[in-house]
Structure formats: structure tokens, C-alpha cells
Structure 1
Amino acid sequence: MLETPKNIQPQQSQANEALDLNKLKTTLKRNWLWLIILFLVINSVAYLKVRYTKNLYESSSELKLDIKNEATEFGIKPTVEDPNFNLLSGEIELIESRLFLGRVLDSSDLNVSYFSVGRVLNDELFQNAPFLVRYKAQNESSFNVPIHLDDSGSDEFTLQVGDEGQKTTGRYNSKVSLNGVDLYIEKNEAFRKGDEIGYFFVLNTRDALLGYLLRSLTAEPLNYNAHTLRISFKDNNPTKATAILNKIDSIYLHYSYEQKNLANKQKIDWVSNELVNIEHKMEDFENYFENFTLQNKTNNLDEDLKKTVSAINRLDSQRYELTNRIVEVNTLMDGMKAGDLSISLTQLHALPPTVAKNLEQLEDLYRDQEKLKLSYNEATFAYRQRQKDIETLRAKASRQLEEQRAEWIKRLDQINQKKARLEHEFVNIPDKSTQFSKNLRFYKLYEQFYLSLMQSKSEFEITQAGSVPDYKILSPANLSYTPISPNKLMITGIGFVGSFVAMLLLVGLLYVLNNKVTSLLDIERVTSVPMLGVVPSSRQFTKNGLHVLDHPKSMVSEAIRTLRTNLDFFNINGQRKVIAVSSTVSGEGKSFIALNLGAVMALSKKKVVLLDLDMRKPKQNLPVTVEDPSKGISTVLIRKNTWQECVSTTALSNFDYIPSGPHPPNPSELLLNGEFEELLNDLKTQYDYIILDTPPVGLVTDGIMAMKRADISIYIFRANYSKKDFVLNLQRIININKFSNITTLLNALPSTGEQSYGYGYYEEPGTRPWLKKIFNT
């Protein structure tokens, strides 16, 4: 007899870490449909991704940025020298800025987008639309939404905002009002219709267009040292991507040049404005100097001051001389009246020649008269005649002297007036000089400032002219008809490989999560309890549970016969008659094994009785017809009936069956009392083998009580049903109850694989050949 040790310890083996091929095959076999579904789903998603994703095209260009500052040739030093990194980074920020892209929008016609409605996808009709839309909008309620246009075939059309908006009818080349937007739609006669089923257009807001440009534009450096960068633009329409990128490149060159010289331009503008202001001020000063010169007949007041002093002195001399002459004339006139005329040479030279001559003659007459007084009497004719001549000449000379004195008095008044005027000018000349000098000083300052600003302006202009933007387009925007996405081959490959990876992950997950017993190794790794045998799984139908009778040539029947043979090794002395069949939980096939094992023993001419000890759950599929369900083991143990009254015969001779009977309130106590042991002793006298179909020991303790009364206990594990923890539960039961007469059996093991029960030459009815081709090794 084979016995297990008293303290059986679980065996640890490196096989714990090895791959269990049988378990793997079982996992594949049980989940092959889900794996195929997963494969189809992932590849279907990849196909739908390729089929329903619009092609994305990329147009790119390469620019070389280099700022040559040639202003140093004029002696002007540059103020800032940016490193290469900062230069390219600044240019990239400029290209991707909203300010720059706003300029691109201002010079591009992107306000209206035209689309064709396809049977699968919608395509944008760039520069090739069936109609042209112009609009005037009071509000933007209809912007950024599709406006469908349905051509009625004539000059009329129907507009609809969105899919459920209100429809509006209009005519081509006429105004149509739609939600605050006045539309003017012209038909494109050159457009050729394809297989599209409709058209719509979108009125784009500026923010939407800026967002579109920002999302689609990419600028990145290619070589920092070479000052090269790459600009790319992505769009679903390759022509549109190329056109926009060409526009960006051209505007960037001009805009970048403006930005580079913005500071100089602002300085030049400021200097130019200041020069204009200074020119106006200098013109005012020049007008002042011109007027001053015209008014004062000079522009040198110091010299004029000297001239004025000299003129005043000359006038004083003239006054003095005229005053003396007038005094002398008065003296002469008084002398003539008194008859005492004495004329000096100085007086004669001061008088006009005619007057001087008359006075000389008058003087001579006076002398002759004096001489006549000595010779003649005053009453004589000669004396009177001389007196008459003297009177005549004196009257004439007096008149002449009077006239001359009046002339000299007039000249003296003129001289006094002129002197007074010169004296007044002499007093005002210092003020005029001061104002003139002040204005002249300001004029010279403005003149110097003007010249300085002119020089600065020239320097700024030279600097601006010397900053030559040597921006070269190394590679212009290219028109590519090869989409960059979706990469159909890659997506298909990813779907195909991903499906296999997902299948492997699923199989691995199911493999790891599968804690069921799948082979003999799962039992042998944990416990060293002897293995009685293996019963393969079968799809053959048995109406009363006696498989060995219904299918005597099946693999299951042969396996049960092998179990009967193996039990002989545990019955060397021939005294072991009680066989307990148990399991951890229900459904592991212990009742099937107990019933068919008893049938095989009965077929070998042994008298066998099967006791159903599961009084908590009576059997339904029985090999016999129980005439009175109220009789059974439970009634025998309470001495209500004898076992002879409860026994039922099966369709197989020498094989009897005692049902469990009605459900008692205390099944465990019934098995503990002496009636159960007495029952077994009585049965031993009548039968060769007593098979106990016990309750599951993992649920109730009734089975343990029955196993203690048995000579041999067969512990059933069902492949792909019993958990691996059930093997540990068996080990725990053995250690606690000190069992030494337990053997194990693996039930319902799949009939294929390395660990299967090897009866390959048996033909199993109902087996599907195509599954064998898939899973058979």
C-alpha cells in the first residue's frame, strides 16, 4: 500500500517560473473567439482611421538669414550684435507672431472658404470654387459655420446655415440677406463639377484665421551657424498650403527688413520733423534780419553808432558855424543901420559872393561919403547923390542879408531837427543792437543745431542704407501631392502589429489571471499526494450519468477503468472496501466519478453500493428511479429506516444506490454518531466496495467526517474549474486531520496537449475536426 507522509509539505520547483504550455494552450482554446474579435476590431479601427482621415499635406521652404552691416565703411559702429541663437530665435518668434500673421491675412484672400461635400469626406476648393462670395456683415452670427448652397439649376439657389438652419432663396449676382450678412454670389462658369454631392462655404472671422495660421505654421532652425531656418505650412489642400507659404515668405522678407530698420526710420522721421521746425524758425529770423536791414539801412549797428556820433558832431559844427554866421549877419545889419559898416574877410568869405560884393561896394561908399564930408556939405548934390547911392545899396544889401539870414535860420532849424533825430536814434541804437544780437545769437545756434541734425540724419540714412537684408530663399515653397498624414502603410502596420500585441497582452493577462488547475503539474508542484489518474473531458451526452455504459469505448470510460486498476495498488491486503470521493466545491465532478467508478467495479463482477452522503443537496440526475424520496441515508442514521429499505438497484447488476434522503437539520452530527459507522460495517458484509459520495469539504465539514471513515479517499480536481488554492486546501486538510489514505484525481482534462490523457487512438464522437486543426499540436 502507498501512503503519504504524516506532514506533507508543498513542493517548490523552478517550474513555478516556467511557462505552462498546457495552460497557455488552454487559455488560447477558451478565448480564441475573443482574440479573433480583438484582432478584427483593432484592424477595423486602423482601416477606418485610414479611410475617414483627410490627407494632410505639408509645404516647406528654407531661408538663409544674414544681416550685413556695411555702415562701418562710413565710420559708423553697430550698436548691437546679436548672437546666432538669438537671431534665429527672434526671427522664429517674429514669423509665428500674431502681428506678422495679421499682415499675411491682410494681403491674402482667405475670408471665405469653399468646400465640396463628398460621399465620405469634404474637400476644400481652393482657387477653384463653383461660385464666388462677397459679403458685407453687420454681425458675425453666421461666421465660422458652414453655409450650404443648393443650386436649383437656373439663376436661383438656396442657402442654409448649418444643417438645421433656416433656408433662404436668392439669385446669382444679386444681394441676399442672411442673418445680418449681405451676400453677393457670382457663379463660376469655368468650374467643372465632379462626383461631389453638394457645396458649402464658410465666412471666417479674423481670430479663426489667425488660429488656423498659428496651428498650421511651423518655423524651426536648421543650422544656427549658417543662419538657416525651415518654414512649413500644413493643410488638407496642397495648393493652399503652398500659396500661403509663398505669401508668408514674401511678406516676411519685406516685413523683416522694415523691422530691422524701424529704429533708424523712427530716428530719421524725428530728425526730419525737427529739421522742418528749425527751418521755419530760421526763416523767421532771416525775415527779421531782412526787415531790420531794410528799415535801418544796415546790419552793423556798431558802425551805425559811430556814424551817428560823427553825424551829430558834424551837425554841431554846422550849427555852430551857422549860429556865428547869423550873429555876424545881425552885426552887419545893425552896423548898416547905424552907418558903421565894418566887414572882416571872414565875414565876406561866409557870405555869398553877390552879397559880399554889395557889402564891399557899400563899405566903399561909406568910405567915400566920409571923404566927401571933409570936402562937401551934407546939403550938396554930390553928398546927397552919394547918400542916395548908399541908401539904395544898403537897402539891397539889407534885403540880401535878411534873405541869407532867413536861409541860415532855416538851415539851422533843419540841422537841429536832424540832430534831434540822430540823438533819438543814438538813444535807441543800444536796444536795437541788443535785440539784433540776441536774435543773431539764436539764429547761429539754430544754424549749428540744424547742421548737427543734418549730419545725424545723414548718418542714420547711411546706417539704414548700409543694413542690407541678405535674405535668400534657399528652397522655395514646394507643391507636394504626397500627404504627410495619415501614413496609411504605417497605420495599417501599427494596426496589424498592435492587434497581435493586444492579443498577446490579453493572452498574457488571461494567463496570469487564470488561477485554475489546468494540468497535472499544477497539482504536483504544490503537493506530493499520489495521483490516482486523469479523466479526460468529453462532449458525449449521458442521460443517466453512467458514461461507462452509454459510451463504453470512449476515452472517459477507459480512464475510469484505469482508475479502478490503480486502486488495486492501494488495496494490497484486500481489506479496503470503503472509498470516499470528495472535492473542494461542487461542480468538480465527484458525483460523476463516484457513479462511474462504481459502475466499472460492478462490471468487474464486484458488488458495489454508492452512498449519497450529500444530505444538504440531493442529486437530480440519478442512474435509478427513487420510489420513495423520503427514505435515504438521513433516515437510516436516525434509525427510521433500515438501509435495506432505502437501497435502490441501478440498470447495472451488482450496483446499488442509496440516496441521501430528506434534508436533516444536522448532517454533520448524523455522521459523527455510531449509526454511520454501524451502517458501514453492515454494508461491508454485503458489498465488495462501498463508495461514499461526500459533500464538498471546502464548503461543509460533512465530507471530512466521511473521509475519516473511509479506507481510501479520492480528492477530485477539475481541470480549468478548480482553483489552484484548492490544492493548498487539500494540503491543509491533510495536515490538520492527519490523513494518510488520500489520493488525487484530475477530472475533465482537455483531450489534447502534452498533459492530456493519452488515448489518441480513440474516436470521440462529436469532436469538431476544424477545432482540432486549429488547436491540436
Structure 2
Amino acid sequence: MNNKGLIINKSYDPLILRTVLRRYWWWAALLVLTFAACAWVYLRYTKPTYESSMVLQLGDQDNAKDVLNIENINSRENDMSGVVELLRSELLFEKALNKLNLSVSLFSRGEILTEEKYLSSSFNIQPYELSDSSIINQEVAVVSKGRNKVELSYMKGGEKQRVEGMLNEHIQNSDFDIVVKAADPDNFHKVSKENDLFFIFNGREQLSNRLIKDLSVAAIDPNAKTISISFRGHNATLCRDIVQAVSESFIEYDEEQKRQSSENIISFIDAQLDSLSSEVRIAKDSLIEYQRRSQLSDPENVGVSINENANKLQDQLFELEEEYNGLLNVKRKLSKSPNRLEVYKLLPELLGRSYEASLAGHLRELHEFLERKEDLLFEVTENNSEIEIINQRITSKLNIIQRSIAAIEERFSRNISALRAKIGVLEGEAFELPEKKMEFNRLKNIQELNEKYFTLLTEKKVLYEISDAGYASTNRVLSKAKINLAPVAPSRNFVYSAFTFFGLFVGFGLILFRYLTFNEINTVEDLEQILPSQASILGGVPLFKQALEYSQLVVADAPKSIMAESMRKIRTNLNYIHPNYQTIAISSSISGEGKTFVALNLGGIIAMSGKRTVLLDLDLRKPKVHLGLDVDNRVGMSSLIVNQATLEECIHKSKVENLDFITAGPIPPNPSELLLSKRFQEIVAELKESYDVVIIDNPPVGLVSDGIKNLTDSDIPIYVFKSHYSKRVFANRVKELFTMQQLKSLNVILNGVKSNRSSGYGYGYGYGYGYGYGYYDNGYTEEPEAKRNKWYQRIFKRK
């Protein structure tokens, strides 16, 4: 019988569903726990990813626009996309990395994870020189050899290089010159023993390419001109510092670009003014040369005093302009955040100037402040409070100097303007002389035309300088970058939820699969659904909860138990089926379904009713009756059939009055021929004359066909199924018995039915069935209950 076909339950059956849930609910629970443990392992050994972000707002303040009604060329109205692309660019990102101390990266490698120890390492590397660029991006292992000794090792040219040195001292070889610093040598030694420490010389381009992919820049609100800058990485402090450095680099770069743009425009205007100044000077010289060559009386004679006065005024104007240009040069150099050397070089330029006394002292003090700052930077960082105080003093002194320059510049401008006005008056008077006025006027017109263009450009320059002075970039940080110690990935809640959901999904998927492929018979209702209508159900036999190695006659020991009552009910039902029955043949589909147990105890109950009953063990391949009734099996049915023993020699008495039995006897080589022989029929006939009821324990007809004839010849054929053991496909064998073997009737008993009543009785034993002949290998043979109860079955024991 082929019992290995896959059964698919296509309709909803609440009985099957309840059984499957009751039996396999722990699958889902176990899978949830398993996947939760996997989630814990995943979170434990996955490096967390942190994120730091900030919000930057772009802004322009153009005060000159309201006054002069002109817009500054640096004004940024609709350039959000350009700014976003600039923030994403490698150009700006490399500028940001230059602000950070990332020339060397420090790492600590544990058994599984490797962690970058940015600003949190037990040691630090201060590089002074890197002679061989081939070791860039190569691991350099750092091992503590004692309190103050350290060993460095790295691969170069396929060979391992080693160099030893002392902590906090220069370690040099042909490849590099560095200092390994450790504030706490004991802690460094301890950490070196626990983890593998190493560092990497970073190449700027490689470092930028590695980190820039984790930078994210996005416009938040184009109307408000707000931009979000965020960075993700495995070190929260590094994420904060990179975001902060990117924003600072952008603000500085933006201001520098605008300043350079303004300088280029002013430089262009200055170049044009220089050219026109030459033209004006040539025109003036031509006019004077004409007057001299023409011997104009008025300019030479009458206008002598005018010319003298004009020359004196011109000399004064030249001196003022020369000092004014020097002042502008000082102002230009101070506007670029000068260093100490640049300030020092300005002092000689003030010698002999009228404003030397006003500015020299302030510049010397500024030089001292800058010199003091440079000295301090060798000892402390930029964020030190003393550096901040020095910066405040430098800023204050620069403001004082700039205000002084502005005041001097204003005074020079007024004096120059006054001198030019006087010169103009004198020249006007001289040029009004009547002699040769036509030529004089022509030359004068040329001069005035050049001066007009010169004045126009000067006005434009002044307007642009005013516009540029009134324009200021107001880029500001609305939300500062912070160290966020809560990782954004992996999300603990998401991972646990996803793994738990997947565990539930797989668990309930398996339960659904068990429901769809459920192939067990558990209740009498299951039998009613799958058996043909010709089959009658006699009843159920409760599960005997004590583990039995072999079938036993339990009703004799507990005649008032549920087991005995169930057998009495079956005995009563037999009377309805065949009031005068004399032969009962019992079989099943496979081994372990309890046909021998039913035969023994049904025979005991019938015998208790006063009927002389004999039980025949015809399971000649693997007999069990003699084991359950504790007798030897030297002679039995096989001996009787072959006439090697008599009935008197084979019949045994049981402990139940009126119940006798005959064991199977020695196992024959041809059991099928013996059961189909005429001698067997004669033996049954003889027994029927001596006993009221003959019960035949047949071999399982689902495996062999030996007992089918006994089923057809008996008064009451009984077919045994076992709850939670027999498969639904076994019902096909019952159908075959009706269709192919011409059975007129068949009576079914469901063995091992679980009861909620705490009687202690039922039927729970089982045994394997097979002889090594090959034809009992059906795919459903099970081991005894005592052997099958593994530790996990005891934990998840079904109730």
C-alpha cells in the first residue's frame, strides 16, 4: 500500500485546525525565540551607524540697495541648487577634511568587529614626515612591549617591516618619522593586550572618496533658503565634526568667493582709471605745452600768480594723494586677516607719513598679539580659552586700526577734494584768457572729456564700493551639529520587529503547511468523514497513558475503568451487528495501531460476559500475544497448521475466566500459504465447536494480504485505526477492501482516543512492525513511545 502520497486539505476543517494548533503552536513560539536570538546576534555583531545633521540658512543683507537702488552682483536670489551642489562637491569636502585631524586614522580590532577610535583612542599618532607614499592606506600595527616601549609593524613590498621605539618619543626609519603618544601608558598597555591596535596613514583623495559617499545634502525649504547637511558613519564624534567642518568650509569659501569677486571688479575699475588718468594727464600736458608754445600773455603774464598758486596746490595734491595711496595699501593688507609677518612688514611703510603717530603704536600692539597667538598654538588648540581671549584682542585692535584708517582716509579725501576744487578754479581763470582761445578750448574739451569718463568710472567705483560695503552674507546655522549616540542603523526596534515578524510568519507558515498536509486520524468524526458509507464505527478505545512495551490484558486488572467500559460498549454494539456472531477477525493498516491490544481486551470483556472465548495470534511474522500474556511461543498456530502439535498442546489459559488463547508459534518461512491453507479452516471449525467466540488477531492488511480472507469469512470483521497515529490515506485501504475484495461489511474501532477525564486509562503503547523482508517498509513505521519521547518532546508534550 502506497501511503506516501501528499494529502492537501482544500477545505476548512475546524477539527483539523484545532488539532494542528494544539499540537504545533510551539513551532511558532520556538521560531520567534530563535529569530529573536538571531536578531540579538545581528545587533551584537553589527557596527552601529550614527548620524549627525545640521540646518544651514542662506542669507544676503543688501543695505545699499535701499539707499542707491542698485543690487549687488553677489546677491543670491534663486541659487539654492547651486549651493547644494557646492556642499556636495569634492572641492568643499576636501577643504572640510583639511580642518580635521585626519591625516592618520586609529583603529582597534576585536575578535569580530573593528572600531575606528576617532578622538577616543588610548594612543595617538603625531606624524612629522612620511617618506614613502606606498604605505599610505596600509595597516601599521601598534603593540605595547612594556610600560614605555612600543613596536610598529607593517607590510612593504611583500615583507613585514618592524620598528621599535619609546612612547612619546620620535620613532624614525626610512619610511616615516612619527611620535606614538599615550597619556596613560598603563591603559595603553592593557588595551594593546586585549585588542589589535593599528593606524593608517590616510591619503587625502582616498579618504575623501571613502567618506563623501556618506555625506547627504538636501534643500529643506527653498523659500526659507534652508539646507540640511548630514553625515552617517560608525563614529558619532566624527560624524558631528565632519558636518560642522563642511558648514564652516562653505561659509568661509562663500565669503572668500564674494570678496575675491569684489576685488576683481574694483581692480578692473582701477585699471580703467589708471588708463584714463594717463589720458587726462596727457591732455593737461598738451594744454600747458600749447600755452607755453603760444606764449599766451594771460597765462604767462597776467596769470603768473594763478599758475604759481595752481602749481603749489598741485604739489600739495600730489603729496596728499601719495600718502592717501599708502594709507589705502595699509587698509587693503589689514582687511585680509593678516598674519604676524604681514603686520610686521607694514611698520616700515609708515615711516615719514603724517599718520605714522596714529597707526604705528596700534600696529605694534597688533603684532605682539599675533606673535603671542602663534606661540600659544604650539601648546594649546584653537578652542582654548586663552586663544579665544587673544582672538578677541586681535579683533578689537583691528577694529581700532580700521576706524583710525577710516577717519584718516576721510580727512585725506576732504583735503584732496578741496585742493582739486581750488586748482580747478585757478585753471578756469587761466583758461578764460582770450588769446588763441579756439585751440585752447579744443585742448580743454579733450581734457574735460577724459576727465568726464574718469569721473564716471570713479563714481561707479564709489557706488560699487558703497554697495559692496552695504552687502553682507548672513549665512547662519539654525541647528548645530550634535553628537548623536543613538544609532540610526541598525534600528533595534525595527530589527527585533522584523525578525519576530519573520519568525511568526515562518512559524504560522509551517502550521499552515501542517494543516494543509494534515494526514492523521484523531477523532471518530474524522473517520466518519473519510470512510465509505458501508463501514460501521463500533466506537473508540481510550488512550492508556502508561507506557507499555507490549499489548496487555488491562481490563482484567481494572474491570471498572474507562477502558473496560469502552470495551463493553463495543461488545454491546457487536450484538447489534450480528447477534449470533462466533468469529471476529481484527486487523489494521500498519503495525502499531493497536489491533492486538483491542483483540486482547475485547476478548477479555467478551469472556467476562460468560462466553467461552479463544484468541488466535495469526500475526505469524511478528507475534505479540505471547509477550502480552507472558507465555512461551514454542508451539502455536504455525505448529497446528503443519500438524506438529495438537490443540490441547497449544491452548493456553489466561487470568480471565473463559478466555483462552493460542500463540502464533515459531515464525514460519511461508506465513501466507499457512493462513490460506485448508488445515487452518479446519482448526477454526474445531474451535467454533468448543468456544462461543473465536477472535482472530490478523496481520496488518495494509502491509500484507494474509488476513484479508479471514476478514471476509468472519462474522464480524473489525478494522482498527489509532488516533494521532493512523494516516488518512489508510482509509483508501478500507475502500479497496470493499471494491476489490468484495467485503460486505466492515466495522471500525478508533484506538488511543485521548480523554480529558483523569482516569489514567487509555492506550498509548506502540511498536515497530517489520521482518527484514522489505515489504513492511511503508514510511509510517514508528518506534515505541518509550523510545520516541525525546527531551524536546517532553518539553513540548502535547496535552
TM range, smaller chain:
0.5 to 0.7
The 3-state SS of whatever aligns with 2:520 is coil
| Structure 1 residues 532 and 177: CA distance shift in structure 2, 3 A | farther
| Contact 1:13-1:525 within 8 A present in 2 as well | no
CA distance in 1 between partners of 2:21 and 2:626 (Å):
32
**1:60 is matched with which residue?**
53
> Mean alpha-carbon deviation: is it higher for 240-249 or for 596-605?
596-605
The structure 1 residue matched to 2:238, chosen from 237, 240, 263, is 240
CA distance in 1, matches of 2:566, 2:173: 86
Structure-2 residue corresponding to 1:106: 98
Is the CA contact 2:544–2:760 (under 8 Å) kept in the aligned structure 1? no
Secondary structure class of the residue paired with 1:210: helix
Alignment of structure 1 residues 507-656 onto 2, 5 Å:
507-527=511-531, 528=533, 529-542=535-548, 545-546=551-552, 547-549=554-556, 555-572=562-579, 574=580, 576-619=581-624, 622-624=627-629, 629=634, 631-634=635-638, 636-637=640-641, 643=647, 646-656=650-660
Q: Distance in 1 between matches of 2:674 and 2:77?
A: 101
Give the letter aligned to residue 685 of structure 1.
E
After superposition, the Cα gap between the structure-2 partners of 1:157 and 1:467, relative to the gap in structure 1 and judged at 3 Å, is same
1:169 equivalent to 2:176? Answer no
Q: Which amino acid in structure 2 is aligned with residue 132 of structure 1?
A: N
Does the 8 A contact of 1:142 with 1:179 survive in 2?
Answer: no
Task: Tell me which of 671, 679, 683 is aligned to 1:679.
Answer: 683
Distance 1:592 1:191, change over 3 A: closer
Pairing 1:699–2:703 present: yes
Cα distance, 1:620–1:675 mapped onto 2, change above 3 Å: closer
> Matched residue of 2:522: which SS?
coil
Provide the C-alpha distance between the structure 1 equivalents of 2:510 and 2:206, rounded to a whole number of angstroms: 45
Identity %: 29
Trace 1:118-133 onto structure 2 (pairs within 5 A): 125-127=117-119, 129-133=121-125
Offset, 1:61: 0.7
Rounded to whole Å, the distance in 1 between the matches of 2:502 and 2:684 is 63
Alignment partner, residue 228 of structure 1? 226
Relative distance call for 1:615 and 1:764 in structure 2 (3 A) is: closer
Other-structure match for 1:27: 23
1:253-298 CA-to-partner distances (Å, cap 9, x unmatched) read 3446778999x899989x979x89x99xx99xx9xxx9xx9xxx9x
- Partner residue, 1:749: 753
Contact 1:56 1:237 in 2 (8 A): yes
Does the CA-based 8 Å contact 2:539-2:749 persist in structure 1? yes
Report what 2:342 is aligned to: none
1:179 to partner: Cα distance: 9.5
Shift of 1:249: 0.8
CA distance in 2, matches of 1:241, 1:626: 85
Residue identity in the other structure for 2:142: H
What residue in structure 1 maps to residue 199 of structure 2?
202
State the AA in 1 paired with 2:202.
T
2:514 and 2:140 map into 1 onto residues whose CA distance is: 49
Q: 2: distance between equivalents of 1:467 and 1:699?
A: 101
Q: Measure the CA separation in 2 of the matches of 1:211 and 1:704.
A: 83
* Equivalence for 1:334: none
Q: Deviations over 1:106-156 (max 9, x none)?
A: 332112234568999876554354443123441444745373342722x32
Query: Which residue number in structure 2 is paired with residue 346 of structure 1?
Result: none
How far does residue 49 in structure 1 lie from its aligned partner after superposition? 4.6
In 2, distance between residues paired with 1:191 and 1:222? 49
CA contact (8 A) 1:101 1:213 kept: no
Q: 728, 739, 743: which is aligned to 1:739?
A: 743
Change (3 A) 1:773 1:685: same
Distance in structure 1 (CA, Å) of the matches to 2:587 and 2:517 = 26
Q: 1:774 to 1:720 in 2, by over 3 A?
A: closer
Partners of 1:216 and 1:225 in 2: how far apart? 27
- Alignment gaps of 5+ in structure 1: 1-11, 298-446, 753-758
The farther-off stretch of 253-262 and 660-669 is 253-262
CA distance 1:720–1:19, shift in 2 (3 Å): closer
Does structure 2 retain, via aligned residues, the 8 Å contact 1:55–1:484? yes
Deviation at 1:244, TM superposition (A): 1.6
Q: Is this contact kept in 2: 1:66–1:471, CA < 8 A?
A: yes
1-side partners of 2:544 and 2:90: how far apart? 75
Give the letter aligned to residue 627 of structure 2. L
Residues 129 and 191, structure 1, Cα contact 8 Å, conserved in 2: no
| 8 Å contact from structure 2 (residues 97, 242) kept in 1 | no
Q: Give yes or no for contact 1:25–1:775 (8 Å, CA) kept in 2.
A: no
Deviation per residue, 1:130-188 (Å, 9 max, x gap): 443123441444745373342722x32344569x9887531134333589444322343
Please say if residues 610 and 658 of structure 2, whose CA atoms lie closer than 8 Å, have aligned partners that are also in contact.
yes
2:706 aligned with 1:708 = no
Classify the secondary structure of the residue corresponding to 1:610: strand
Aligned position for 2:758: 760
Can you give the 5+ residue segments of structure 2 that lack an aligned partner in the other structure?
Answer: 1-7, 294-449, 765-785
CA deviation profile, 1:573-629 (whole Å, cap 9, x unmatched): x2x122121211222121222222223323333222222333344448624566564
Question: In the superposition, relative to structure 1, how do residues 272 and 533 fare at CA in structure 2: closer, same or farther (>3 Å)?
Answer: same
* TM value normalised by structure 2: 0.59
Residue 650 (structure 1) shift: 3.8
CA contact (8 A) 1:27 1:511 kept: no
Aligned partner of residue 141 in structure 2, secondary structure: strand
Q: How far, CA to CA, are the matches of 1:63 and 1:550 in structure 2? A: 91
Q: What is the CA-CA distance between 1:55 and the residue it aligns to?
A: 5.0
- The answer to whether the aligner puts 1:147 opposite 2:141 as a matched pair is yes
Amino acid at match of 2:124: L
SS at 1:548 equivalent: coil
State the distance in 1 between where 2:42 and 2:85 align: 34
- The number of aligned residues is 590
Residue by residue, what CA displacement relative to the aligned partner does 1:360-399 show, whole Å, maximum 9, x if unpaired? Answer: xxxxxxxxxxxxxxxxxxxxxxxxxxxxxxxxxxxxxxxx
Q: Distance in 1 between matches of 2:50 and 2:662?
A: 83
CA distance in 2, matches of 1:261, 1:703: 109
Counterparts in 2 of 1:692 and 1:247: CA distance versus 1, 3 Å? same
Report the secondary structure of 1:530's partner residue. Answer: strand
Matching of residues 191-340 of structure 1 within 5 Å: 200-206=197-203, 209-255=207-253
Structure of greater Rg: 1
SS of the aligned residue for 1:737 comes to coil
What amino acid maps onto 1:588 in structure 2? E
Paired with 2:733 and 2:264, the residues of 1 have a C-alpha distance of 95
Structure 1's 210 and 693: CA in aligned 2 closer, same or farther, altered over 3 A? farther
Structure 1 equivalent of residue 379 of structure 2: none
The TM-score with structure 1 as length reference comes to: 0.61
Distance 1:538 1:91, change over 3 A: farther
Q: Residues of 2 paired with 1:472 and 1:504: CA distance?
A: 55
- SS of 1:728's equivalent? helix
What amino acid is the match of 1:100?
Answer: L
Contact 2:9 / 2:515 at 8 angstroms: preserved in 1? no
**Does the CA-based 8 Å contact 2:653-2:661 persist in structure 1?**
yes
Give distance in 2, aligned partners of 1:105 and 1:16: 66
- Match of 1:425? none
Give me the whole-angstrom Cα distance separating, in 1, the residues matched to 2:173 and 2:582. Answer: 100
The change in CA–CA distance for 1:649 and 1:91 in structure 2 (over 3 A counts) is: farther
